[in-house]
């Protein structure tokens, strides 16, 4: 399994660098809220269905993934601003990558942001669950692409 010593995708590295530049945990939380406010509005309540709901989160979190020109585009929403910020961080870092690139991202990159120090255990678990769901959706698109290539 790769570690964060391996190069991360540029989009995710940029997000991590933003958090690294924050001098303290309060500033990192403010940055999460900023990410939450920038998150595109979730398309519709029609997408708030069980297959898009992230399991294991205390907050209500939904994530969708579409494939455009071989790249995954994520959208998400949460009823909690901090969790919405975590969703937005992941969307900004992972959208626009190929399914293969997303699948290869190791989960320990959160340590590089410094957020792991101040997140509650339930939020850390939620972050991991959101990330895992995004990887699962990327894998589903990769499998669909493979099947289409065979036909």
Residue 59 inside a domain? The answer is yes
The Cα 122–Cα 71 span in angstroms is 31
Active site residues: 57
Domain annotation covers residue 3: no
How much is the average pLDDT of 21-46? 90
Q: How far apart are CA 43 and CA 32, in angstroms?
A: 21
- Domain for residue 76, yes or no? yes
Domains: count for the chain: 1
Q: How far apart are CA 151 and CA 141, in angstroms?
A: 16
Q: Is residue 1 part of a domain?
A: no
SS3 of residue 148 by DSSP: helix
Q: Which domain holds residue 146?
A: 10-150
What's the CATH number where 108 sits?
A: 3.90.1010.10
DSSP 86-103: HHHHHHHHHTTS-HHHHH
pLDDT, tens digit, 9 for 90 and up, residues 101-143: 999 999 889 888 888 887 888 888 899 999 999 999 999 998 8
**Interacting residues of 49 by C-beta distance below 8 A, sequence separation 6+:** none
């Amino acid at each position: 399994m790769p570690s964060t010593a391996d190069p991360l995708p540029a989009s995710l590295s940029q997000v991590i660098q933003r958090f690294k530049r924050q001098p303290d945990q309060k500033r990192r939380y403010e940055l999460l809220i900023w990410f939450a406010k920038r998150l595109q509005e979730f398309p519709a309540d029609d997408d708030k269905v069980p297959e898009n709901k992230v399991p294991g989160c205390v907050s209500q979190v939904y994530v969708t993934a579409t494939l455009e020109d071989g790249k995954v585009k994520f959208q998400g929403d949460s009823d909690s601003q901090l969790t919405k910020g975590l969703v937005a961080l992941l969307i900004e870092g992972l959208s626009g990558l190929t399914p293969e690139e997303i699948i290869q991202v190791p989960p320990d990159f959160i340590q590089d942001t410094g957020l792991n120090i101040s997140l509650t255990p339930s939020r850390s678990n939620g972050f991991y669950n959101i990330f895992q769901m995004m990887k699962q959706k990327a894998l589903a698109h990769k499998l669909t692409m493979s099947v289409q290539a065979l036909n």
